[in-house]
Chains A and B, each alone.
Chain A
């Protein structure tokens, strides 16, 4: 049943949040630190294990895939509920950071690819 998949997803989500919350307490900072990242790693490992054991039914998987297809719509709703008026006062920051951060990444990519290719050739 699809709900099994949703339940597995919810379990990973909650365990990740508990871990993130725990890390927040340990490092003496308010809030949840990396809970989403932990949850994702957990789901990746679990999904990998399920695939190896061939115990993940397509129906169960579709319960999880539904939510991953809701990713962009949720982000659209999120952006529609932000304080954009206030953000526009810092509009140049957004544009400059966006352009420079992307450019820096693009400059780094060919260097790493060159290194990786030289390594595989030897």
Chain B
């Protein structure tokens, strides 16, 4: 038993690949069989990750010796690298077609989520600028939260909350989009781009639009990708700067 733990610990990253693969597989099976794709497999897998982390320590499940590789695979370097690569799905000439209004959506969506998220956190006792910015970032997407938290030096506790917020948002968006799309007026590429730009949450938007109208998916996902970039750009810089100016 000790030998097994030693081998897994020594080859931590490889074990993490296998472990995450298994979690993903089971989550997608659950998504398909039990929820009929209503809750996206990605959202289930992320929730499973958070649940598993509960049984660990300060570094979540990665605090348990054999699982230390998770901290590397899910660490800042690998995370940022994978996130940057998702920009491959977006094209600058496509977003130019939506023009200024697309840019407006990205900015207003980020700022709105940031201050509502941070404001609620502030009202509930997270009164320092770092927590305000991190939770506000989490209200954009579950990527922006931890990146903001890492940049401003927020505690792991607050970063975990920001991820949980992003996951909750992704689940709500996925489930409610098909029911609300018509009422919101989402029926052509441009409106899908506006939707993705304001809401962000790439997994939620793409899964939600897939259940609404498959043709709209790339357009919504495109601006949602930009939303994450905009959040990563604004939250730890200008927006944190503004918050830091008013509260310390």
Asked if A108 meets B112 with Cβ closer than 8 Å, knowing A75-B143, A90-B126, the reply is: yes
B160 and A84 form a contact (CB under 8 A): yes
Q: Residue of A at shortest CB range from B124?
A: A93
The residues in B between 192 and 237 inclusive whose CB is less than 8 angstroms from any CB of A are 194-195, 198-200, 203, 225, 228-234, 236-237
Q: Residue of A at shortest CB range from B20?
A: A73
B53 and A9 form a contact (CB under 8 A): no
A74 and B73 form a contact (CB under 8 A): yes
**How many residues of chain B are within 8 Å of chain A by beta carbon?**
113
Give which listed residue, B80, B109, B168, contacts A35 with CB less than 8 A.
B80
Asked if A109 meets B184 with Cβ closer than 8 Å, knowing A9-B84, A82-B50, A102-B172, the reply is: yes
Give which listed residue, A17, A30, A48, A84, contacts B93 with CB less than 8 A.
A48
B82 and A70 form a contact (CB under 8 A): yes
Q: How far is the CA of A14 from the CA of B135 in the complex (A)?
A: 26
B59 and A79 form a contact (CB under 8 A): no
Separation in Å of the A105 CB from the closest CB of chain B? Answer: 5
Separation in Å of the B7 CB from the closest CB of chain A? Answer: 19
B74 and A23 form a contact (CB under 8 A): no
A55 on the B face (CB < 8 A): no
A74 and B85 form a contact (CB under 8 A): no
How big is the A interface, by class?
35 or more
B interface list, Cβ under 8 A from A: 16-17, 20-21, 23-24, 42, 45-54, 56-62, 67, 70-71, 73-75, 78-93, 101, 104-105, 108-109, 112-113, 116-117, 120-121, 124, 126, 135, 138-139, 142-143, 146-147, 150-153, 155-161, 163-169, 172-173, 176, 180, 183-186, 190-191, 194-195, 198-200, 203, 225, 228-234, 236-237, 240-241, 244
Asked if A116 meets B163 with Cβ closer than 8 Å, knowing A31-B150, A38-B233, A64-B88, the reply is: no
Q: B121 contacts which chain A residues (CB < 8 A)?
A: 93, 97
Q: A34 contacts which chain B residues (CB < 8 A)?
A: 151, 232-234, 236-237
Q: A13 contacts which chain B residues (CB < 8 A)?
A: 80-81, 84
How many inter-chain contacts with C-beta < 8 Å in the A-B complex?
322
Q: How far is the CA of A37 from the CA of B232 in the complex (A)?
A: 5
Q: How far is the CA of A73 from the CA of B165 in the complex (A)?
A: 18
Give which listed residue, B84, B180, B199, B203, contacts A72 with CB less than 8 A.
B203
The residues in A between 6 and 62 inclusive whose CB is less than 8 angstroms from any CB of B are 9-10, 12-13, 16-17, 20, 23-24, 27, 29-41, 43-45, 47-48, 51, 61
Separation in Å of the B235 CB from the closest CB of chain A? Answer: 8
A84 and B74 form a contact (CB under 8 A): no
Separation in Å of the A112 CB from the closest CB of chain B? Answer: 5
Pull 14 A–B residue pairs with CB atoms less than 8 Å apart, ordered by A: A9-B81, A9-B84, A34-B151, A64-B85, A77-B74, A78-B163, A81-B60, A81-B74, A83-B60, A86-B157, A90-B126, A94-B138, A106-B180, A112-B101
A75 and B142 form a contact (CB under 8 A): yes
Give which listed residue, B71, B93, B108, B117, contacts A108 with CB less than 8 A.
B108
